[in-house]
């Protein structure tokens, strides 16, 4: 079986792309009379895990990822 | 020979088609209130997370719009209401005072993408929706 299809957002190469309910993956957060549109906090935390230069920074970032997952109802 | 006039009928407009013989009324399609959403700046937003673009949402006179006035030039109605605004797919409630309200937008989204903004409806009255886009540009 050929594996030459373009990978979708999950990288699973099924050729169908992300599902329509996945949205654009951006996070909109309201704070009073302002909204911030950007990456989800979990994505930032995962980047901080990868970029951490000390063990304590890595642990803190991983905790942020776990808290974000819990905030999102346990969805990974 | 016929002519068309518009009149207000509660929350909606009535289209009056007048001929030499009779006047026909077409009811209940166009809301008397039209939402107008615009950006205060140039519609571009730097993706550094601190720059802001201000969205202004206004309720303008649908009767004037039906009679040919561009919504951008129509009078703002003196109404207090809550508008539903959809920013990048996320519903936000914006309180309008004297027909107008503002919301600041900031972003860390990827440069080259766009943020869609739809002023969808009013809480208390039917209203025509409006939309705009903000272009996300790279941090200088």
Residue B51's closest chain A neighbor by CA? A36
Whether residues A39 and B109 touch (CB distance < 8 A) is answered with: yes
Residue-wise pLDDT tens digits, A27-69 = 888 999 999 998 877 777 888 898 899 999 999 999 998 988 8
Q: Is B50 an interface residue toward A (CB < 8 Å)? A: no
Q: How far is B137 from chain A (nearest CA, A)?
A: 13
d(CA B61, CA B75): 6
pLDDT attached to residue B74: 93
The residue length of chain B stands at 140
> Residue A1's pLDDT band (boundaries 50, 70, 90)?
very low
> Residue B10's pLDDT band (boundaries 50, 70, 90)?
confident
pLDDT attached to residue A15: 60
Residue B16 sits in the same domain as residue B36: no
> Residue A73's pLDDT band (boundaries 50, 70, 90)?
confident
The answer to whether residue A10 sits within a structural domain is no
Looking at B24-28, B116-120, B128-132, which range is the least confident one?
B24-28
The answer to whether residue A58 sits within a structural domain is yes
The answer to whether residue A43 sits within a structural domain is yes
Q: How far is B31 from chain A (nearest CA, A)?
A: 27
Whether residues B109 and A23 touch (CB distance < 8 A) is answered with: no
Residue B53's closest chain A neighbor by CA? A34
B-contacting residues of A 4-63, CB under 8 Å? 23-24, 26, 28, 30, 33-39
pLDDT attached to residue A47: 83
> Residue A76's pLDDT band (boundaries 50, 70, 90)?
low
Residue B83 sits in the same domain as residue B132: yes
The answer to whether residue A5 sits within a structural domain is no
Give yes or no for residue A22 having a pLDDT over 60. no
pLDDT attached to residue A24: 59
Whether residues A37 and B52 touch (CB distance < 8 A) is answered with: no
Residue B81 sits in the same domain as residue B101: yes
The answer to whether residue A6 sits within a structural domain is no
Residue B24 sits in the same domain as residue B49: no
What DSSP string runs through chain A? ----SPP-TTS---SS-S-GGGTTS-EEEEETTEEEEE--HHHHHHHHHHH--SHHHHHHHHHHHHHHHHHTTT--
Q: Residue B130: give its domain's CATH number.
A: 2.60.40.10
The count of structural domains within chain B is: 2
The answer to whether residue A50 sits within a structural domain is yes
pLDDT attached to residue A18: 56
Q: Name chain B contacts of A20, Cβ cutoff 8 Å.
A: none
pLDDT attached to residue B45: 94
Domain boundaries, position B82: 32-137
Residue B87 sits in the same domain as residue B61: yes
Residue-wise pLDDT tens digits, B38-93 = 999 899 999 888 899 999 999 999 999 999 999 999 999 999 999 999 999 899 99
Residue B26 sits in the same domain as residue B36: no
The count of structural domains within chain A is: 1
Residue B60 sits in the same domain as residue B120: yes
Residue B24 sits in the same domain as residue B36: no
Q: Which of B47, B52, B82, B88 to mutate against chain A (most A CBs within 10 Å)?
A: B88
Residues of chain B with pLDDT > 70: what percent? 99
ipTM over 0.85: no
pLDDT attached to residue B2: 85
Domain boundaries, position A41: 20-71
> Residue A25's pLDDT band (boundaries 50, 70, 90)?
low
């Amino acid at each position: 079986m050929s594996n030459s299809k373009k990978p979708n957002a999950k990288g699973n190469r099924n050729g169908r792309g992300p599902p329509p309910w996945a949205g654009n993956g951006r996070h909109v957060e309201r704070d009073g009379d302002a909204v911030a549109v950007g990456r989800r906090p979990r994505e930032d935390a995962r980047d901080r895990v990868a970029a951490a230069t000390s063990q304590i920074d890595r642990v803190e970032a991983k905790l942020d990822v776990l808290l974000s997952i819990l905030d999102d109802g346990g969805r990974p | 020979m016929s002519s068309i006039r518009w009149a207000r009928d509660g929350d909606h407009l009535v289209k009056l088609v007048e001929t030499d013989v009779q006047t026909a009324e077409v009811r209940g399609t166009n809301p008397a209130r039209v939402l107008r959403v615009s950006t205060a700046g140039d519609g571009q937003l730097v993706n550094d997370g601190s720059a802001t673009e201000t969205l202004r949402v206004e309720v303008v006179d649908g009767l004037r719009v039906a009679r040919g006035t561009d919504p951008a030039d129509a009078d703002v109605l003196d109404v207090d209401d809550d508008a539903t605004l959809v920013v990048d797919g996320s519903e936000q409630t914006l309180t309008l005072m004297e027909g107008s309200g503002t919301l600041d937008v900031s972003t860390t989204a990827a440069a080259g993408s766009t943020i869609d903004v739809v002023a969808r409806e009013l809480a208390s009255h039917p209203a025509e929706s409006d939309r705009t886009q903000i272009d996300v540009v790279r941090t200088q």
